[in-house]
Structure 1
Amino acid sequence: MWVTYKKGFQAWLRLEKSLSDNSVEAYMHDIEKLTQFLQLQGWMFTPAQLELEHLQKFIRWIAELGMTQTSQARIVSGLRSFYKYCLVEQLTTIDPTALLEAPKLMRTLPDTLSFQEIEMLIDAIDRSKTEGERNKAILETMYSCGLRVSELVGLQISCLFLDSGFVRVIGKGNKERLVPIGDNAIKQVNIYMEHTRRFMPVKHGHEDILFLNRRGAALSRVMIFLMIRDLAAKAGIRKNISPHTFRHSFATHLVEGGADLRAVQEMLGHESITTTEIYTHLDREFLRMTLASHHPAFNKSLPR
């Protein structure tokens, strides 16, 4: 019975919402959990027959399974999207998720890298190896542009406007944005293209991909993760570092430097400003520390 609803929801996510395959798969996984729960309970309900209390019992069930609060909140978000689809397609006239509460989450920033630590990572690259110039170009681009790892591995040569200092990035939901790219990254991308990439064999269909592996195909996200992990070990950096650390460091350094939050939102490709506002918490701490270090009246007695 739910097979038809799932297929319709999947098509709606792809065609109407223009979500990526990974996002669609995540939503479908959430609905699959719900149908598993319904089967275990022996409930033969359609989406229109499900009520708030049924969904509340479902959320308690996944919590008892040991699912984290973050995962629970994501599933609640998935259920809301499913019922939005049901309302649009007139499969139901009531949305039982309207009063469904998700766990309250503490929004925290992961580890960030200082500028000095980023330089240490770049210096740890063995540039005598074939992939050395490519790896340096990757790190310079990640830090300069604040790209998601999926955006980095899919970056196209035709989207580089290095003379103007911009790159066109294709982000979540195939949404495009223009992002400034710094001089160091421009210089290193040109070095990589001139001295490494032009001599590489290129696999059919990957001619426009900027960063290639030894077989001439696009890099995987896992390869970027492993590269960064190895460089961190060589540089003696013990923080929990991933490709996303560069994106967080990019945003953190911008906010610390006084960048307008709307500008940071645009560069990161955040759909909502509330996603970007997580960096204001760090900004406030940075401002407090700056004040403590430089203001004569902060934590000191005023002269009488």
Structure 2
Amino acid sequence: MSIADWDAIIDGHLARQAVERGLSRHSLESYARDLRDFLDYCRSINLEPREFDARALTAYLENLGQRGLAPSSQRRHLSSLRGLAREMVDRGILANQPAPALKLRTRQRPLPRTLGRREIAMLIDACDRSTVRGLRDRAMLEMAYGCGLRVSELVSLKLSQVNLAAGVVVVFGKGSKERMVPMGRSAIEALSEYLRHRGEPPDSAPATAKPSVRRGQKPSPYVFLSRLGGPMTRQGFFKTLKGWASRDPRLSWVSPHTLRHCFATHLLEGGADLRAVQEMLGHSDISTTQIYTHLSKSHLRRAHRQYHPRAISRPTRPSPEN
């Protein structure tokens, strides 16, 4: 084998990942970027496939660190390479897994930044309901926050996945995993109002213009439509959210994933079961959900005052006898 064989090995591995694991396009692109970076490294040092051992893997990880990649990015690269190495062992290219027990230095995961309930209300209320575009944006914000959807799940949502009468939405998450998430009253009302005007030009006032679907044009199956009548994109929703958030400087840092963080955090603050939140978020591992168990200091203070027997008043000491 030579260095040129890396291309076929990596391409074959990515193809099998797509078929066997059902990874989304975004996950596959992430894997491909990691493995292409490793391929460039192998070419730079003339590392052949059969020379991929613990020493080579360690040197590559050190190279990532020297290039300034964050520990989280280094762990992702390591995970991608472990998957590649397992397949190389199965195919008889390697005799052993390169350093199966190799671990990077653990780093405390930063707590997600969230908004309070009042700030969420301010953000959603900022949407201009006098236009169809504003109704769409409001419905998207209500669904993202009210159902905890990932941005990819939100923009790919189809009409067939929504049951307004039952108040549920069927979501296809990472790896095409299906889950059912309840819809709250606010999300149902906002989505219902948008769907009544969904076929009208985005910048028009609701119910005052003809539908934008032309004769002979097949209606889109997607819930949230762009100005051109196609499905909204991740980038489009990001710009939309930033546009409404920019009206208040305190919300300028907000991203689409912030709404998902708020969904989980506010549920747990309200007393929701961690397992239920895990299921609604679509997390395969509950340790991923546990990061949301962080609570605001004011919430902790309220809980302490309410439940601790010595939090409200200090017991009086008997006065010493003279």
Query: Is the TM-score greater than 0.5?
Result: yes
Residues 52 and 99 in structure 1, CA contact (< 8 A), matched pair in contact too: no
Equivalent position to 1:173, from 172, 175, 193: 175
How far apart, CA to CA, are the structure 1 residues paired with 2:263 and 2:122?
16
Q: CA deviation at 1:230?
A: 1.7
Structure 2 matches for 1:129-278, cutoff 5 A?
129-197=131-199, 199-201=211-213, 207-238=220-251, 240-278=253-291
Q: CA deviation at 1:298?
A: 3.0
Q: TM (normalized to structure 2)?
A: 0.87
How far apart, CA to CA, are the structure 1 residues paired with 2:251 and 2:159?
34
* Mean CA deviation greater in 294-303 or 234-243: 294-303
Larger Rg: 2
CA pair 251-204 structure 1, distance change in 2 beyond 3 A? farther
Structure 2 counterpart of 1:7: 11
Structure 2 counterpart of 1:101: 103
Give runs of ≥4 in structure 1 deviating > 4 Å.
202-206, 284-287
Q: CA deviation at 1:162?
A: 1.4
Structure 2 matches for 1:12-51, cutoff 5 A?
12-43=16-47, 45-46=48-49, 48-51=50-53
CA pair 12-97 structure 1, distance change in 2 beyond 3 A? farther
Residues 79 and 97 in structure 1, CA contact (< 8 A), matched pair in contact too: no
Structure 1, gaps ≥5 residues long: none
What root-mean-square deviation, in Å, do the aligned CA atoms of Structure 1 and Structure 2 show? 2.2
Equivalent position to 1:291, from 286, 292, 303: 303
Letter in 2 for 1:124: A
Q: TM (normalized to structure 1)?
A: 0.92
Q: CA deviation at 1:88?
A: 4.1
CA pair 32-205 structure 1, distance change in 2 beyond 3 A? farther
How far apart, CA to CA, are the structure 1 residues paired with 2:163 and 2:233?
24
CA pair 177-236 structure 1, distance change in 2 beyond 3 A? same
1:108-151 CA-partner distances (Å, limit 9, x unpaired) = 22321111111101111122223011111111111110000000
How far apart, CA to CA, are the structure 1 residues paired with 2:34 and 2:79?
9
Q: CA deviation at 1:195?
A: 2.5
CA pair 303-164 structure 1, distance change in 2 beyond 3 A? farther
CA pair 247-98 structure 1, distance change in 2 beyond 3 A? same
Q: CA deviation at 1:165?
A: 1.2
SS of corresponding position for 2:247: helix
SS of corresponding position for 2:122: helix
Q: How many residues align?
A: 301
Residues 13 and 19 in structure 1, CA contact (< 8 A), matched pair in contact too: yes
SS of corresponding position for 1:168: strand
How far apart, CA to CA, are the structure 2 residues paired with 1:99 and 1:264?
32
How far apart, CA to CA, are the structure 2 residues paired with 1:151 and 1:126?
24
Structure 1 counterpart of 2:205: none
Q: CA deviation at 1:249?
A: 0.1
Residues 305 and 312 in structure 2, CA contact (< 8 A), matched pair in contact too: no
Letter in 1 for 2:264: A
CA pair 96-163 structure 1, distance change in 2 beyond 3 A? same
